[in-house]
Amino acid sequence: MQSSTIGSLLRSTQAYCSQLCEKQTLDTGIAFYSERFGDLPEVNQFREVVLNDGGSVSQAFQQAKAWFDARNLTCHRWAPALDTPVEPLRDFLAERGFQARPLTAMTLTEWVPTEPEPNLRVLPARAMRPIYVQSFLDFGTGHDQGPPGVLASAQNDRLDDSQLDMFVAVSQKRALGRGGLYQVGDFGRVIDLCVEQSPQQDAVARTLLAHVLALAKRLTLRSVLVQIDRDDVTRRRWFEQAGFVVDGEFVEFELHNPQRPS
């Protein structure tokens, strides 16, 4: 099941990235790019990286770098294809400022009954855009990297995608959390479960996740997946309590302190 879960997550990430960017297939991977959101790693990145027979990491890097440089863009992230060996990339990319980001794949194995928090309202983000956008400034960007204001603008654009259902947990006209379900074919992926740090954050996360999973159940999806940072013990606990189990690990590489080319 591991390769299927990770492969589905990688496929969903490609679709998710394509909401905001254009893409171009190169010999060694797929370049996702956008000038409008140039400072966001998820927008300008090199995915499905493969090392062809007789090729090298250096050749792949030079091809990708030349392609992004020609457009005055910075490649913020490298994501190996499912069967690409990670070790040849790790040391080479580390020397060029990329840090390994270990990720954990999780899949839902049981529907866990959950009592929602009575003082919270979970509402569609499309109907609550100002509150949704403000949440990025109020309590951060979760797993996604980049300036909160730019990320908020990008995520606001995503709301019009029919495959994505985002929600905000609201109390007293203020968002305390957000999260959503992104549907790709017959599976769904939990997206951007992010909660303000407070004594009630576990209750907010539980309520949001219950709402998202209720939608997934109504859609009768074949599977429901999520990826988290490997060391994120808080989110792992939230998902495990909701019926998810770990189903593999994989690695992507993030550019540390990127500088846009001059």
Q: What is the mean pLDDT of each run of 10 residues along the chain (262 residues)?
A: 82 92 94 87 90 77 95 94 90 94 96 86 95 89 71 90 96 93 95 92 95 96 96 96 96 76 35
pLDDT at 41: 76
| pTM reported for the whole predicted model | 0.92
Q: Are 10 and 40 in contact (CB under 8 A)?
A: no
98-108 β-sheet, strand order: 22-26, 29-33, 45-49, 77-80, 244-255, 98-108, 223-229, 187-195, 174-184, 164-171, 121-124
Q: In the Cβ-directed half-sphere of 145, how many Cα atoms lie within 13 Å?
A: 19
Instruction: Map out the domains of the chain as residue ranges.
Output: 2-103, 108-249
- The token duo for 221 is 């999806």
pLDDT at 1: 44
Euclidean distance between the first and final Cα of the chain, in Å? 45
Element (H, E) at 7: helix 2-18
pLDDT at 143: 60
Which numeric CATH code is attached to 108-249?
A: 3.40.630.30
- The token duo for 49 is 């990286």
Element (H, E) at 94: helix 87-94
